Amino acid sequence: MFETGLVNLYTRDIEAGIRFYRDLLGLTETFRTPVEGVPEHVELRAGGFTIGLGTVAAAKRVHGMDAEPGRPAMVLVLWADDVDKEFERLAAAGVPVVQPPHDTGNDNRNALIQDPDGNLVEIVSKVG
Over residues 38-55, the pLDDT tens digits come to 999 999 999 999 999 999
17 and 39 share a domain? yes
Number of domains in the chain: 2
Q: Report the Cα 71 to chain-centroid distance in Å.
A: 14
Q: Within a 10 A sphere around the Cβ of 51, how many other Cβ atoms?
A: 22
Per DSSP, 70 falls in state: T
Task: Answer with the one of 23, 42, 69 that is the final residue of a domain.
Answer: 69
Domain encompassing residue 61: 1-69
pLDDT digits (tens, 9 = 90+) for 3-29: 777 898 999 999 999 999 999 999 999
5 and 56 share a domain? yes
Q: Which CATH number do you get for residue 117?
A: 3.10.180.10
